[in-house]
């Protein structure tokens, strides 16, 4: 796999469960849906701005984000990013995957829940440190981030005074409407715009994701470059050469055969938050009208010691997608168990047969063994492999999954770009809280 490809899909272990012809039959539907998306037609067509973000995002606003990132690096020890759902998951996913490449202030995420102990700990964590806030919300009234913003805004005003606090607060919000836009105009916060035609879970390549990543010191232009390369690759007509079409077609064929749960499994600890971003992207996009594939995730080998039994022998309604990373730390090897350096291996833990082998090699064999065992146990599976974790690769993964779920959702017969069910719990919660008009 060349660096230019960034991503490879192996569908070999789907074919024992679904004939290749069944997947081939999905090719024309995938192409038709892709053409519909490119023409901005069909359900949710008002929310297709994400399709062009890899190119469109390289404008003056990106330079302004980089300028703010430079300033934050000079005057801040920590930047608190306040948002929920699509307003933080993409940035958190990239920051975790690329943690070895960051160089800016520490990034903390708030507004992701209503847990008072966790918020209290975070407020204590920033005591005595120079901080900035980046608040991300289209409306400014979503309960979890709005409550966190009040708490941190109060801290900022008490610490810096109202005017100086305003210089340290940045809002990513609507261009002209909403409570956060009004507050930003009133207080003088610097602002960046969430495009009207991009939904929250597709917003990682807007300032929603790019600003926190730039502040962290990551190369957001390389990230956009990886997404742009994947955009070109996902425009091809050949099903087996177009990763987004192949992934969508394989998922659709498996769904037709009764596999309605997908587990995204990884053997790389740093991609855990990327799996969480994937779950929101696919769960909110496909779970409608009593249809859709339920997205779950496992972090191996850890979860092999908790969920492994179910995956191996439980109900056979699930399939698995492995997300694998080739690059690692090859110099981290199993040492001798010796009383003295260079001595005889005492083998008190039974690992003498692994001495000198890298953890990467051992982890790869754990993956291969798991994949073989799950296939033999009746679990269809795909493997998505990337060569390493850098900005370009992460950008390609973001775009690949977004394009795939757009096609997959349309193939299921739902609108992948709305989320009507999300409002149900809010209505009941606001009624119980006594919100006026609820």
- Kindly list the catalytic residues: 284, 305, 426
DSSP state of 333: B
Strands 261-266 and 78-82 turn out to be unpaired
Q: What is the four-CA torsion angle of 219, 225, 231, 236, rounded to 10 degrees?
A: -140
Which of 309, 284, 287, 282 shows the shortest CA–CA distance to 297? 282
Q: How many residues does the chain have?
A: 438
Which strands, in side-by-side order, build the sheet including 131-136? 106-110, 78-82, 131-136, 169-173, 190-193
Q: What angle do CA 315, 321, 323 make, to 5 degrees?
A: 145
Which of 96, 417, 51, 409 shows the shortest CA–CA distance to 235? 51
Q: Is the dihedral of CA 322, 259, 199, 136 positive or negative?
A: negative
Backbone angles phi, psi at 145, to 5 degrees: -70, -35
**Cα–Cα separations (whole angstroms), residue 199 to 45, 49, 202, 311, 329:** 11, 9, 5, 33, 37
Distance CA 25, CA 338 (A): 59
Distance CA 423, CA 435 (A): 15
Distance CA 134, CA 132 (A): 7
Take residue 78 and report the two structure tokens written for it: 């920590």
Q: What angle do CA 327, 332, 334 make, to 5 degrees?
A: 130
């Amino acid at each position: 796999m060349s660096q230019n490809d960034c991503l490879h899909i192996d569908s070999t272990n789907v074919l024992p469960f679904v004939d290749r012809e069944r997947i081939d039959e999905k090719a024309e539907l995938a192409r038709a849906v892709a053409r519909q998306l490119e023409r901005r037609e069909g359900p949710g067509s008002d929310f297709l701005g994400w399709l062009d973000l890899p190119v469109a995002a390289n404008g003056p606003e990106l330079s302004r984000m980089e300028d703010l990132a430079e300033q934050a690096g000079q005057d801040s020890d920590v930047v608190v990013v306040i948002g929920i759902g699509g307003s933080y998951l993409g940035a958190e996913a990239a920051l975790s995957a690329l943690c070895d490449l960051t160089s800016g202030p520490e990034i903390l995420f708030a507004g992701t829940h209503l847990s008072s102990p966790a918020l209290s700990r975070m407020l204590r964590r920033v005591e005595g440190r120079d901080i900035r806030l980046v608040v991300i919300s289209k409306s400014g009234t979503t309960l979890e981030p709005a409550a966190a913003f009040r708490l941190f805004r109060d801290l900022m005003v008490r610490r810096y005074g109202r005017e100086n606090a305003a210089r340290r607060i940045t809002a990513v919000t609507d261009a002209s409407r909403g409570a956060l836009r009004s507050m930003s105009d009133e207080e003088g916060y610097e602002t960046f715009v969430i495009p009207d035609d991009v939904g929250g879970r597709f917003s990682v390549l807007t300032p929603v994701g790019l600003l926190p990543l730039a502040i962290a010191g990551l190369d957001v232009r390389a990230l956009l470059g990886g997404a742009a390369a994947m955009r070109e690759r996902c425009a091809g007509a050949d099903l087996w050469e177009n990763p987004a079409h192949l992934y969508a077609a394989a998922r659709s064929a498996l769904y037709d055969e009764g596999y309605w749960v997908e587990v995204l499994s990884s053997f790389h600890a740093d991609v855990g938050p990327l799996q969480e971003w994937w779950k929101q992207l696919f769960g909110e996009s496909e779970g409608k009208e009593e249809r859709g594939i339920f997205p779950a995730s496992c972090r191996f080998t850890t979860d092999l010691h908790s969920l492994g039994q179910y995956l191996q022998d439980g109900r056979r309604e699930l399939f698995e997608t492995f997300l694998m990373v080739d690059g690692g730390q090859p110099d981290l090897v199993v040492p001798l168990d010796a009383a003295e350096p260079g001595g005889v291996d005492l083998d008190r833990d039974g690992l003498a047969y692994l001495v000198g082998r890298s953890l990467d090699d051992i982890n790869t064999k754990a993956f291969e063994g798991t994949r073989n065992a799950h296939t033999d146990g009746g679990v269809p599976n795909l493997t998505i492999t990337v060569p390493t974790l850098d900005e370009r690769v992460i950008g390609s993964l973001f775009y690949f999954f977004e394009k795939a779920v757009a096609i997959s959702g349309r193939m299921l017969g739902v609108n992948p770009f709305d989320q009507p069910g999300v409002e149900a719990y809010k209505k009941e919660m606001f009624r119980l809280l006594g919100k006026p008009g609820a």
